Amino acid sequence: MRIAFIGDIVGAPGRKMIEEHLKKVRAEYGVDFVIANYENASHGFGLTLKNANELVACGIDVMSGGNHTWDKKDILPLFGTHELLRPHNYPKEVPGTGCKVYEVAGEKLAILNLMGHYSMPFTDNAFRCALENVEALHEQGVKNIFIDFHAEATSEKRALLMLLQGKVSAIVGTHTHVGTDDLQIVKATGYLSDIGLTGCRDNVIGMDEKVPLKQFLTGMKGHFEIPKKCKKILQIVLFDFKEGLCSEAIKLKIFDDGRILKTEAWHD
C-alpha cells in the first residue's frame, strides 16, 4: 500500500493548496490512503465542521490532531461523524480516540496519534501509550502502523523512533511547522522528525509576522493571524508499506509558483 501524510494544515492557505494539488498527487503517485493533521486547519486554531467537510472532499481519508484539537467547539460531535483522531495519550475520559484501524489495499492499517510532553498540555505518558498500543495492535494481527507524533522537541520524536524502530511502519512528527531534512528508513520503519506546515511559507510558522515579532521584541503577547496574501506550500510525505515494513519514502514540497521539490529517504 502507498499512504500519504500531510502535516499541520494552517488555515485557508493550507486548505487551498490541498484543494489544488491533493487529487493530482493521489492520481500521479497511486496513493491509496491520505492522512492529514487538522489542528490548525480553521484559521490556525482547531477545526470546524465546514472545514472538515471541505478537507474530506479534497481526498483526505482520516485526520489527526494535537494540542489545538479542542480550540473549536465544533470538534466534539465530529468524533462521531468524521474520521478524526485526537492524541491517544489524553486521559480515557476525553472524547474521541487516537487509534483506529482501516482496510487499505487488502491489508490492515492502524493510525496512532500521540502528543509529546515538552511545552505541551498535560497528558499521559506518550511512550508508554505507544508501546501498549503497538503491542495490542500486533496481537490483533495489525502489522502496518503509522504514527503522527505531535511534539515540540525533536529529541522526543527521535526517542520514539529508537523505541519503536522495526515495530511500526512509520513515524512522522508534527507541531513545529518547520520541516526537517532527515527522511529515512531505519529497520524498515520510515521516519521524519517534522514534516512542516502546509500553508503560508513567507512569515512565522504560517502566521503574520507582526505579532510574533512584537512578542520576541517586547514580551507582549497577541493573537496570531493568518495573512490574507502569502506565498504557499504543500508538504506531503509518501510511504510504501507491505506486511508492516516500509520499503520506500519520498517527500514532496509543492510550491504555489509551480516548483516541486522531491526528496527520497535514505536507508539505514
Q: Can you read off the three cell numbers belonging to residue 35? A: 492522512
Pairing of β 266-267 and β 184-186: parallel
Interatomic CA distance for residues 58 and 23, integer angstroms: 7
Residue 23 CA to residue 248 CA, distance in Å, equals: 21
Sign of CA dihedral 111, 237, 33, 82: positive
Q: What stretches of 86-220 adopt beta strand conformation (E)? A: 99-104, 107-115, 144-150, 170-174, 184-186, 189-192, 199-200
Q: Which of 21, 43, 68, 150 is catalytic?
A: 68
- The residue written with cell numbers 529529541 in the block is 155
Q: How far is CA 41 from the centre of its chain?
A: 12
Residue type, 109: L
Give yes or no: 68 in active site. yes
In contact, 148 and 62? CB cutoff 8 Å: no
CA distance 108 to 106: 7
Active-site residue list: 68
